[in-house]
Amino acid sequence: MQLRNQVEWALHCCTLLAALPPGRYLPTKDLAEFHDVPKEYLSKALQGLSQDGIVESALGPSGGYRLARSPSDVTFLDVVEAVEGKASSFVCTEIRRNGPCSPKGADAKKCFAKPCGVAQVMWSADRVWRARLAEVTLADVTQTLAESFPQNVIDNTIEWINERI
Amino acid sequence: MQLRNQVEWALHCCTLLAALPPGRYLPTKDLAEFHDVPKEYLSKALQGLSQDGIVESALGPSGGYRLARSPSDVTFLDVVEAVEGKASSFVCTEIRRNGPCSPKGADAKKCFAKPCGVAQVMWSADRVWRARLAEVTLADVTQTLAESFPQNVIDNTIEWINERI
DNA sequence: GACCCGGTACTCGGATATAATATGTCCGAGTCTGTACGG
DNA sequence: CCGTACAGACTCGGACATATTATATCCGAGTACCGGGTC
């Protein structure tokens, strides 16, 4: 099991978008150049973010993407689910109902009233995973970055952005 | 992101193996028939379990697989990692080092001393996921099963096993 | 000089190929069991 | 009757195809800007 590459890209892109001056857009082309990733494929991740209302898009010159909400209102979970989907990582195919020993009739009704015990455990793990991701927002990671990066590096990036919007 | 089908199969197989009389083996063929899954492919999952020391194998007639440890000593995490691998679900490709704004020289050394902030969050989510899986053992799920399944259904399964070992 | 209009260039969004991985299948090496044989 | 050697059948383990998914790319629809023309 491995998350898509797009998840990493999307998170980093959102972090960058969080640094945009209000009201401005940054196009896919620049987001791709900034991270040195294929532009056309990155756009698919951004489409997912757009469809889930994480970012807003604008067409034409000086168009592009911007965050649709405040960075403190966008959690990691929002971004991950926009790219990976909201489905649980574990899918129960109910194999307990297969095979020669599977209960039939009245017994089946009793045994299968509750979800499969194996699936319950796996789903609970999935929930705590998502809960952890929901605890962290883009604002948090921006803050962490601001604390560990020298000011001149940050200024450099801001300037790079301003040259393009 | 989605876990392999084999994870579900492996967990259910381990649950069944936990019900084996001590010292006996159950072959892949019967495990596959019990769950109605392709025998040859299931064997790949069991190979993984064997390599990680979750189960022990024996060749020849009356051979097969059995748990290598007590059911209370085998966690869900053990089984999942044996099938899916121990690598984190999130792989950091360090895209922060790419692109025109990436710091160079002394700045780079300062900025990249710690792991990427995005990756740290994703990894922490991965850790809580694994921690949850490590809390539950095969013995727990067996107990849950025993509480929710009527005795005759369980007896039925035990008998089915005894016919084959 | 200010306003309006149209062309142009730029944007996103989805449809289309290719690579990697998960899924499913097959066959060979090894070993335990059961039997036949000899003592 | 008991021990031993052997043949057979059954097991796992890894090598080999196929289906699905992730990765990468391309092109078309739509829109904001910019320049020229008009009032």
The band of A1, judged by pLDDT with boundaries at 50, 70 and 90, is: confident
Q: Does A122 touch chain B (CB under 8 A)?
A: yes
Q: Which nucleotide is nearest to A9 (CA to C1')?
A: D23
Among A63, A71, A76, A66, smallest CA distance to A142 is for A71
Flag whether the pTM goes above 0.85: yes
Instruction: Flag whether pLDDT at A35 surpasses 90.
Output: yes
Tens digit of each residue's pLDDT (9 = 90 or more) over A66-113: 999 999 999 999 999 999 999 999 999 999 999 999 998 888 888 999
Instruction: Please state, in angstroms and rounded to a whole number, the distance separating the CA atoms of residues B31 and B39.
Output: 8
pLDDT, residue B165, reads 84
Flag if B8 and A121 touch (Cβ within 8 Å): no
Q: Does A81 touch chain B (CB under 8 A)?
A: no
Q: Which nucleotide is nearest to A38 (CA to C1')?
A: D24
**What is the percent of chain B where pLDDT is above 90?**
92
From the CA of B60, how many Å to the C1' of C39? 30
The band of A147, judged by pLDDT with boundaries at 50, 70 and 90, is: very high
CA atoms within 13 A on the CB side of B154: 13
Residues 6+ apart with CB under 8 A from A50: A56, A57, A65
* Residue numbers in B near A35 (CB within 8 A): 95, 98-99
Tens digit of each residue's pLDDT (9 = 90 or more) over B90-126: 999 999 999 999 998 888 998 999 999 999 999 999 9
From the CA of B52, how many Å to the C1' of C21? 22
Residues 6+ apart with CB under 8 A from B65: B13, B17, B25, B26, B27, B28, B31, B46, B49, B50, B55, B56, B57, B58
* Residue numbers in B near A100 (CB within 8 A): 33-34, 160
CA atoms within 13 A on the CB side of A157: 26
Among B102, B110, B93, smallest CA distance to A147 is for B110
pLDDT, residue A106, reads 87
pLDDT, residue B49, reads 97
Flag if B15 and A118 touch (Cβ within 8 Å): yes
Which of A9, A101, A117 is closest, CB to CB, to B95? A9
